[in-house]
Amino acid sequence: MRFHTRLFLALLSYSVLLVGAVALFQYRREKMFKAEELNQRLQMVNDDIFDQLADSVAVLRLPRSIGDLRVTVVDRRGHVVFDNSLDTLPGSNHLNREEIAEAMTSGEGYAIRRNSASTGKTYFYSAKREGDMVVRTAVPYSVELHKLLAADYAFLWFIVGISIIMCVIGYLTTRRIGGHISRLNRFAEQAERGENIVDTESFPDDELGEISGNIIRLYTRLREAMTERDRQHRLALEQEHDKIRIKRELTNNINHELKTPVAAVEACLESLADHPDMSADRRQYFVGRALDANRRLRELLADVSAITRIEDGGDRIGREPVDIAALTADVCAEFAEAAIEKNIVIDNGITLSEPISGNSALLESVMRNLIDNVLKYSGATRVELRQNLTAEKLTITVTDNGCGVSPEHLPHLFERFYRIDKGRSRRCGGTGLGLAIVKNAVIWHGGHVRADLPAAGGLRITIVIPR
């Protein structure tokens, strides 16, 4: 049995019991009221008879206002001393009659009693006691009197009609409530199965609707949280797999990159060992090659250490206010001599006086690698450093007028060990990690980096860092 059916039956039972109790109470009350009214009329007759009894029982005059009126006079012992409807007085004791007993106790009493012992008829009795005498008047309980004493059936039909209307309203209400509860039950079943809730029908604008809406919103937020948790978990797994893959690739690339300088050092040392009588110029040549290979090896290890530090220990790198203008000026001064040797003009337009939140070592590495990349590979005669400051971010551009790169290389410029010209890169002493360090350092600051080709030629690298 469905919930709304059970609820309706419970409400219907309650309504029927309530209406039945009210109807029964009103029926008895109205019937008693009419009986009391008839009793009062007969008591007035009783009072008149008591006035006549003051003279004599024999001279009683019956009132003409009530037809078929029966008058009985009973003494204190219960004997009938007068009855206008009988030729012979009954010998039975009347103290056990309901109306007589009540009159003897409280002064007045009435009763509806069927099958009178004296006449065999049904009467409505009204008795009154004064002194040692009881006067009892009675009218036959005819069809007319029954109708008179009966309750108002119009009222009962009114009650029945009200109860029917209540049942209809109760059915519609319980059906609606039951429908919403059934929806909640379906939602609970869907939630148990982990399904999405697609029911868009609105709930009623009441407490039930508010509770239902809260439950649905709570489940939706929980579902979204679980989905976000799963997404974050998948993302973490993907990042972990990417990190493992990148570390594997980094290890392989490092092994590959180490082979060249190590082999060069080994070859130089073997040459020196195999030819102890080598001339001084030749010996100096091999020593110089070994030193160059060692320097490249040291730079490679330093770059690997830097990029590993950013990736694996980023949470341990501290932040402090950084004077980016002073930092950039120091880096430009460091490369000034090399720029002069290559006939490259460094135009430093970074003049920001307000410090930014970041790590000075990482930002210094960013600027050093960007300028070093221009000096080694661009073939430019000029490099410009510019800034653009807003309330939300700091944008720095490093633009050169060199040969630039082919468009297909742009997406790969910031990859580890990616070289456009491998031979030239090795000749220039590059490790292939400079721009990768730039990218990771900028990402650590919560920013991003991109490369594009200006219309005038050359290469432009843009760094965006949140303030």
Cα distance between residue 92 and residue 101, in whole Å: 14
User: What pLDDT, on a 0 to 100 scale, did the predictor assign at position 253?
Assistant: 54
Whole-number average pLDDT of the chain = 78
Give the burial string for 173-207 (b: 16+ CB within 10 Å, else e). Answer: ebeebbebbebbeebeeebeeeeeeeeeeebeeee
pLDDT tens readout for residues 168-217 = 877 777 777 776 677 777 777 776 676 666 555 566 666 666 776 777 77
Question: Could you tell me the domains of the chain?
Answer: 3-153 (3.30.450.20), 202-316 (1.10.287.130), 318-467 (3.30.565.10)
Strand partners, 128: 108, 135
Residue 272's contacts (CB-CB under 8 Å, 6 or more residues apart) are 278, 283, 286, 287
> DSSP secondary structure string, 353-376?
-S-EEE-HHHHHHHHHHHHHHIII
User: What pLDDT, on a 0 to 100 scale, did the predictor assign at position 436?
Assistant: 84
Contact 335, 371 (CB under 8 A): yes
Q: Is the dihedral of CA 121, 124, 130, 135 positive or negative?
A: negative
Among candidates 280, 264, 308, which has minimal Cα distance to 436? 308
pLDDT band at 424 (very low <50, low <70, confident <90, very high): very low
Cα distance between residue 188 and residue 177, in whole Å: 16
- Average the pLDDT over each of 68-77, 103-112, 184-193, 431-440 and give the range with the smallest value: 184-193
Average pLDDT over residues 33-51: 82
User: What pLDDT, on a 0 to 100 scale, did the predictor assign at position 428?
Assistant: 47
Angle between helices 153-193 and 207-274 (to 10 degrees): 10
Which CA distances in Å does 290 have to 102, 180, 261, 294, 299? Answer: 139, 85, 8, 6, 14
Q: Which amino acid is at 2?
A: R
The one-character DSSP state at 120 is S
User: What pLDDT, on a 0 to 100 scale, did the predictor assign at position 368?
Assistant: 85
- Average the pLDDT over each of 148-157, 206-215, 421-430, 455-464 and give the range with the smallest value: 421-430
User: What pLDDT, on a 0 to 100 scale, did the predictor assign at position 304?
Assistant: 67
User: What pLDDT, on a 0 to 100 scale, did the predictor assign at position 312?
Assistant: 62
Average pLDDT over residues 392-399: 92
User: What pLDDT, on a 0 to 100 scale, did the predictor assign at position 309?
Assistant: 67
Which CA distances in Å does 140 have to 69, 86, 120? Answer: 8, 15, 11
Among candidates 135, 142, 151, which has minimal Cα distance to 66? 142
Contact 356, 322 (CB under 8 A): yes
Share of the chain above pLDDT 90, in %: 13
- Highest mean pLDDT (candidates 10-14, 25-29, 285-289, 341-345): 341-345
Contact 134, 126 (CB under 8 A): no
User: What pLDDT, on a 0 to 100 scale, did the predictor assign at position 425?
Assistant: 46
Cα distance between residue 387 and residue 395, in whole Å: 6
pLDDT band at 16 (very low <50, low <70, confident <90, very high): confident
Residue with the bigger pLDDT between 71 and 432: it is 71
SS3 content of the chain, % helix, strand, coil (to 5): 60, 15, 25
pLDDT tens readout for residues 210-265 = 776 777 777 778 778 888 888 888 888 887 777 676 566 556 555 655 666 677 78
pLDDT tens readout for residues 281-337 = 888 888 888 887 787 677 666 666 666 666 665 666 778 898 999 999 999 998 999
Cα distance between residue 195 and residue 189, in whole Å: 9
Q: Is the dihedral of CA 411, 414, 418, 423 positive or negative?
A: positive
User: What pLDDT, on a 0 to 100 scale, did the predictor assign at position 382?
Assistant: 93
Cα distance between residue 462 and residue 3, in whole Å: 67
User: What pLDDT, on a 0 to 100 scale, did the predictor assign at position 142?
Assistant: 63
Q: How many CA atoms lie within 13 A of 66 on its CB side?
A: 22
User: What pLDDT, on a 0 to 100 scale, did the predictor assign at position 313?
Assistant: 58
User: What pLDDT, on a 0 to 100 scale, did the predictor assign at position 251?
Assistant: 61
Cα distance between residue 409 and residue 414, in whole Å: 10
- Highest mean pLDDT (candidates 67-71, 372-376, 424-428): 372-376
Q: How many CA atoms lie within 13 A of 395 on its CB side?
A: 11
User: What pLDDT, on a 0 to 100 scale, did the predictor assign at position 44?
Assistant: 87
pLDDT band at 160 (very low <50, low <70, confident <90, very high): confident
pLDDT at residue 147 above 90? no
Among candidates 207, 157, 209, 212, which has minimal Cα distance to 187? 212
User: What pLDDT, on a 0 to 100 scale, did the predictor assign at position 204?
Assistant: 61
